[in-house]
């Protein structure tokens, strides 16, 4: 992932910065966390409530 793609995951203007996630970044990383948790604890799969 290059800088332009990473910037698309950051907080949107006018508050743009590279240290905080915007909605796209939050969705991407929360999905990755959920997938990892389900691998560790399959019973958590039923807790998934949001579609990507």
Residue recorded with tokens 């948790």: 37
Q: Would you state the structure tokens that stand for residue 21, as one six-digit string?
A: 């996630």
The pLDDT of residue 37: 94
The pLDDT of residue 39: 96
Strands (E), 1-52: 10-11, 17-21
pLDDT tens, the chain, 52 aa long: 888 888 888 887 777 787 788 888 888 898 899 999 999 999 999 887 766 5
The pLDDT of residue 9: 84
CA gap 33, 52 in Å, rounded: 13
The model carries a pTM of 0.65
């Amino acid at each position: 992932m290059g800088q332009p793609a990473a910037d698309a995951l950051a907080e949107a203007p006018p508050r743009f910065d590279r240290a905080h996630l915007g909605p796209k970044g939050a969705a991407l990383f929360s999905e990755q966390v959920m997938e990892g948790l389900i691998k560790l604890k399959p019973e958590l799969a039923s807790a998934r409530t949001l579609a990507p």
